[in-house]
Amino acid sequence: MIQRCTRFGNCKLVQSFRAGSSSSPSSSSKIGDYHRFASQASSSLQQVLEPSTYSDDENPGVDWDNLGFYMMRTDYMYMTKCTKGECFEQGQLSRYGNIELSPAAGVLNYGQGLFEGTKAYRSEDGRLLLFRPEQNAIRMKMGAERMCMPSPSIDQFVDAVKQTAIANKRWIPPAGKGSLYLRPLLMGSGQILGLGAAPEYIFLIYVSPVGNYFKEGFAPLNLYVEEEFDRASRGGTGGVKSVTNYAPGLKPLTRAKSRGFSDVLYLDSVNKKFIEEVSSCNIFILKGNVIASPAANGTILEGVTRKSIIDIARENGYQVEERVITIDELIDADEVFCTGTAVGVAPVGSVTYKGQRIEFKTGPHTVSQELYTTLEGIKRGLIKDNKGWIVEID
């Protein structure tokens, strides 16, 4: 990867600007391009900016054909702060880099943090598209309430996502080659010694161009049903995207991967009988014309992709149910698939439970493939969006 000086050269600070917030977050909106960003930013900069040595669209040296799901250092990140009980101030774009935190920060000591994940796509005709970013904003708001944190407003969140995507425009892969993953992060940054809510908070967004999440690419996943460890329990934080939900999953995930599985499928923590979700994605089963996914009742994360697939499936004539699903029902399913921003719609080829490997239908003429094609088509601007899901940013 080649890192070079940009339009904003060596400047440490890029002045904040509002890239035009949409009144309706789900409506399509044009908010100007990077040039506008540059002129708006430079009009009120606190430091003199160096001229750019390359154009906004210049390939930053990425091998677009071999993208995986890895962190790549890009040009800009967004950041804003607030004190407890107040609202987040208008954020700023700055060069991507490390941030300073007190060793006593709430997020480091007590895990007071939430993250989100959303993507920007480049369409065949050169438009830059976001997919339902307001849904991530809503989910962050709900999570912040659970974690005793202030959160950015929906408009502020969506606006920040737009700004960060535009500022890193040249890192959005060419159409069909991948996407720009945007990672909004909310954390208790203020120092706190006794257990309590931090006195200060940071909301930031960083990005990385990504390809497939799983090393399997588009190949079917092989899941292992986890019986020893739980992901979430009733009354816990499984339903929000708390940072504390993920590290405990590393042990079962690492173990499953070392045994050749793609990921683990969690069961409910009480009965060990009902399927919940995979480490970082939701699960669906298909039997006949009926598609079912575990109900989002607090222990699973209600995915934006899950919601979208449910709508698309209903529109395509399937009966969709959100309910309790036993592991036995999954074993009896025709198809199984996972959904998530990072994974897309990923077919499951096998599930291993109590030493028994059960295989499912995968391939070109499957329902998961049909749903994947529609969802990806909408996200990438190949299929007309009649639902107001796409936010055009350039």
Ligand X SMILES: Cc1ncc(COP(=O)(O)O)c(C=O)c1O
Q: Which residues bind ligand X (CB under 6 A)?
A: 117, 277, 280-282, 301, 303-306, 339-341
β-bridge mates for residue 130, sequence order: 120, 391
Name which of 183 and 361 has its Cβ closer to ligand X: 183
Please state, in angstroms and rounded to a whole number, the distance separating the CA atoms of residues 287 and 63. 40
Chain residue whose CB lies nearest ligand X: 303
HEC assignment per residue over 82-102: EECCCCCCCCEEEECCCCCCC
Name which of 41 and 343 has its Cβ closer to ligand X: 343
Write out the E strands in the chain: 13-14, 76-83, 92-95, 113-115, 118-122, 128-131, 179-188, 200-210, 221-226, 263-267, 275-278, 282-287, 290-294, 319-323, 335-340, 344-353, 356-359, 390-392
Please state, in angstroms and rounded to a whole number, the distance separating the CA atoms of residues 220 and 110. 37
Shortest reach from residue 292's CB to ligand X, in Å: 16
Name which of 240 and 333 has its Cβ closer to ligand X: 240
Please state, in angstroms and rounded to a whole number, the distance separating the CA atoms of residues 207 and 172. 10
Q: Both tokens of residue 243?
A: 């940072």
Shortest reach from residue 131's CB to ligand X, in Å: 10
Please state, in angstroms and rounded to a whole number, the distance separating the CA atoms of residues 390 and 26. 7
Shortest reach from residue 174's CB to ligand X, in Å: 23
Q: Which of 119, 141, 162, 241 is catalytic?
A: 241
Confirm whether 307 is a catalytic residue: no
Shortest reach from residue 321's CB to ligand X, in Å: 18
Name which of 49 and 301 has its Cβ closer to ligand X: 301
Shortest reach from residue 308's CB to ligand X, in Å: 8
Among 300, 246, 292, 302, which Cα is nearest to 268's?
300
Name which of 184 and 190 has its Cβ closer to ligand X: 184
Q: At 258, is the secondary structure helix, strand, or coil?
A: helix
Q: Which residues are catalytic?
A: 241
